[in-house]
A and B are shown apart, each in its own frame.
Chain A
Amino acid sequence: MLLPSKRIIACLDVKDGRVVKGVRFEGHTDAGDPVDLALRYRDEGADEIVIYYIAASVQQRTIDYAWLARVARQMDVPLCVAGGIRTIEQAIACLEHGADKVSINSPALERPEFIDEFADVAGSQCVVLGVDSRAVDGEWMTHQYTGDASTMRRTPRKTLDWIVEAQRRGAGEIVLNCMDRDGTRDGYDVEQLAAARKLLTIPLIASGGAGAARHFVDIFRGADVSGALAASIFHFRKASVGEVKTAVSEAGFEVRS
């Protein structure tokens, strides 16, 4: 049987109109212009682009829709947006300005029904649940408002329980960001992602920790995720999307060429 192709997803963390990248969600540094980077990744073969407005949830702001439309207008690969979308109206506005999917995170933790309501209106295929997770006393726990170190907080929800609940509520995809790895470039959290993968029938996307092309091979081998998302490895040109895809393909996985 033909196996599904693995997705390589480039994420742009955007703050005040610029792409930024920090280590473990702190100390953001400038990584360039969002439109330029989105187009560069598209040209390098990124299977999907995620635009993540990192400070939006924290500052109770939402997406600049006109700006989103400017990026979407030029994209011929899928585009997902995330960051501070807390109402159905905002989620729909994202779709109507050219996003294909909307990723919700902190607001879904505040009010889980948001997942059901969004899926009912737009269909599960548009609903991505982003989860920021880190081990606390030996248990993977979800975290909220991670866009800023001063507001970040742990929630009482266990990560593995939460993703199963989100799937039941109608999420079409889970992006599991393993915070202890985020920005470290030490590799994805294979253990946590493999545990999550076993519980899901919807696609799971790995996030946090990619620092070399071989890390993508490791996570596809170790956790069989549908895709792997990365930011800094691409921004700082540690590896290009094309180099990652070559490595993944040479390891025997199907990737879009």
Chain B
Amino acid sequence: MSAAVVKLGVGNTASVMFALERLGAAATLTDDASRIAEADRIILPGVGAAAHAMRLLREKGLCDVLARFTRPLLGICLGQQLLYEASEEGDAVTLGLIPGKVTRLPASAQTPSPHMGWTKLEAKREHALLEGVADNAYAYFVHSYVCPVGEATIATAEYGARFSALVARGNAFGCQFHPERSGAAGARVLQNFLSLPC
């Protein structure tokens, strides 16, 4: 069993690789379209801005690979946002695997933006990704844009507004928080993703 972690330009993908290593999972960090297409599962860690990330995905020939992939695909942070149809960030057209548009997180005096810190997850429905994760577990978030709450939503979080923290639609899964930096709860979510049937 091997997971491909998509290498997209600059970012803290090392954190994701280390988390997989701690779980004993075989994983390869790569931007090679054919290797990614053949992986048992794909992790798309989000880094940078939506429009820039989509440009890199196109340049590397990965948009089609991700859209056609039938085994489990997990987007993390911006990676989750890219699963949606569009993003206000740079007016990007994104992968369109989940209906809806990503919008800017409203900043306020009480909620500075980016949302950077630990916030509680609230489960909306039962799902294999949440197995063994306590309801109201804290997860670590770093983002300035948010995914809407909809049918795909498994768990939400609230920071200024309520948004999707964990989503699933078909073989596409996403977490807005960083499971690789969210302590035991995050490790469990990653482990649950790795345990999903291919």
Enumerate chain A interface residues (CB-CB to B < 8 A).
Answer: 1-5, 7, 47, 69, 72-79, 92, 95-100, 121-126, 172-173, 200-204, 224, 226-227, 256-257
Measured CA separation A74–B116 after assembly (Å)? 21
Contact of A203 among B18, B116, B120, B182 (CB under 8 A): B116
Closest to B159 in A: A4
Contact of B117 among A4, A74, A200 (CB under 8 A): A4
B15 touches A72 (CB 8 A): yes
Inter-chain residue pair count (beta carbon < 8 A): 115
B138 touches A98 (CB 8 A): no
Measured CA separation A226–B142 after assembly (Å)? 13
Size class of the contact patch on chain B:
35 or more
Measured CA separation A1–B19 after assembly (Å)? 33
Measured CA separation A223–B18 after assembly (Å)? 36
Which residues of chain A come closer than 8 Å to B12, judged between CB atoms? 95-96, 98-100, 126
Contact of B113 among A95, A201, A257 (CB under 8 A): A201
Contact of A201 among B13, B15, B112, B116 (CB under 8 A): B112
Which residues of chain A come closer than 8 Å to B91, judged between CB atoms? none
B110 touches A100 (CB 8 A): no
B159 touches A76 (CB 8 A): no
Which B14-35 residues sit within 8 Å CB-CB of chain A?
14-15, 18-19, 21-22
A92 touches B10 (CB 8 A): yes
Which of A77, A92, A122, A123 has the largest number of chain B CB atoms within 10 A? A123
A121 touches B181 (CB 8 A): no
B113 touches A76 (CB 8 A): no
Given A77-B140, A100-B142: A47 touches B18 (CB 8 Å cut-off): no
Measured CA separation A95–B12 after assembly (Å)? 5
Measured CA separation A155–B13 after assembly (Å)? 36
Q: Does B111 contact A (CB under 8 A)?
A: yes
Which B112-150 residues sit within 8 Å CB-CB of chain A?
112-120, 138, 140, 142-144
B182 touches A76 (CB 8 A): yes
Q: List 16 A-B contacts (CB under 8 A).
A: A4-B111, A5-B118, A72-B15, A73-B21, A76-B22, A77-B140, A95-B12, A96-B10, A96-B12, A100-B12, A122-B48, A124-B144, A201-B107, A202-B114, A256-B118, A257-B138
